[in-house]
Amino acid sequence: MSELKITIKPKGCKLLRVHAQVSDPPTLSSKILSLTVNGDFFAIPEEGFEKIETDLRGFVVGSVAEVFDKMATEEGLSLAGINGSAIQEALVAGIEALNSPKQVTT
């Protein structure tokens, strides 16, 4: 399991803080084991957003944009400052950070 903690402001969205656990190795094909998203966005009703965070467990990172948007529509969420693409962008940034070689200074 790999842990991702990302703070990002995707284009057209508000600041997002994403905390996720994904299956190893961390790639676009990794399954989401847990996910929480906080930030400067609005999601009404809040309970519907929390349900989606839970319901995304088991989906692969590469499908988050499409699946989130579909679930949000089905839940009747009113969203401002966030969308599925923004969440997927955050997860991908976290995976890239984990997979990038660490800089060693001597």
Q: What share of the chain is helix, strand, coil (3-state, %, to 5)?
A: 40, 30, 35
Lowest mean pLDDT among 29-33, 70-74, 98-102: 98-102
At 95 the three-state DSSP class reads helix
Per the domain annotation, does 105 fall within a domain? Answer: no
Interval 42-65 mean pLDDT: 96
| Full DSSP string of 45-91 | SHHHHHHHHHHTTTSBGGGHHHHHHHHHHHHT-EEES--HHHHHHHH
**How many folded domains does the chain comprise?**
1
Per the domain annotation, does 81 fall within a domain? Answer: yes
Mean pLDDT, rounded, of the chain: 94
Instruction: Judge if pTM exceeds 0.85.
Output: yes
Interval 48-63 mean pLDDT: 97
Per the domain annotation, does 104 fall within a domain? Answer: no
Q: How many of the other CB atoms lie within 10 Å of CB of 62?
A: 15
Q: What is the CATH number of the domain that holds 42?
A: 3.30.390.50
- Structural domain of 69: 2-97
Per the domain annotation, does 18 fall within a domain? Answer: yes
Look at residue 83 in the predicted model and tell me its pLDDT: 96
Per the domain annotation, does 106 fall within a domain? Answer: no
